[in-house]
Amino acid sequence: MLKIGMKAPQFSLMNQNGGKISLNNLLGKKVVLYFYPKDMTSGCTKESCDFRDNFEKFEDADCVIIGVSADSIKSHKKFEEKYYLPFTLLSDEKKTVLEKYGVWKEKSMYGRKYFGIERTTFVIDEKGKIQNIYPKVKVTNHIKEILKDLDN
């Protein structure tokens, strides 16, 4: 179980443009790493568009925004293009990073159990340590909460 102050687990995944992104390459910047269940679904679209609509505020705070789901690179590219997302989306089809960050969990809907991504956001500081964790994210006001915490 990851906790605030721990070193963030390293990763290296492909983005929506087919480029490899590694956490190591982002040292020196704050990283807002948000895990979401699925491209093009209502909650995930709202969350991603909220990040898009506040993108400049995150840039002003010297933050990089990265979204991660188990969707394919092709799916991420369509999602990015449809909603004009100005940040990186990483594809974790093998679920290795999802498991490292503890967001791949058993869920239940209508009595049926299945595994999926628990919507969670991590803020990682310039030295690669976890500064904040937002588990079981409720999309409404989530961005405001992160920005407020970044100001402190």
- Domain of 46, CATH number, reads 3.40.30.10
Residue 109 counted as domain residue:
yes
Neighbouring residues of 88: CB distance < 8 A, sequence distance ≥ 6: 15, 16, 21, 64, 65, 66, 67
Domain total in the chain: 1
Residue 123 counted as domain residue:
yes
Residue in 12, 16, 138, 10 with CA at minimum distance from that of residue 71: 16
49 is catalytic: no
pLDDT tens column, 22-33: 999 999 999 999
Q: What is the pLDDT of residue 107?
A: 80
pLDDT tens column, 79-138: 999 999 999 999 999 999 999 999 998 888 788 888 888 999 999 999 999 999 999 999
Residue 7 counted as domain residue:
no
Residue 6 counted as domain residue:
no
* Domain assignment of residue 21, given as a range: 12-151
As a whole number, mean pLDDT of residues 34-60 equals 95
pLDDT tens column, 36-48: 999 999 899 999 9
Residue 3 counted as domain residue:
no
Q: Of 13, 21, 44, 123, which is the active-site residue?
A: 44
pTM assigned to the model: 0.94
Q: What is the pLDDT of residue 152?
A: 67
Q: Say if CB 80 and CB 47 are below 8 A apart.
A: no
Residue 2 counted as domain residue:
no
Q: What is the pLDDT of residue 82?
A: 97
- Please give the biggest Cα pair distance in the chain: 45
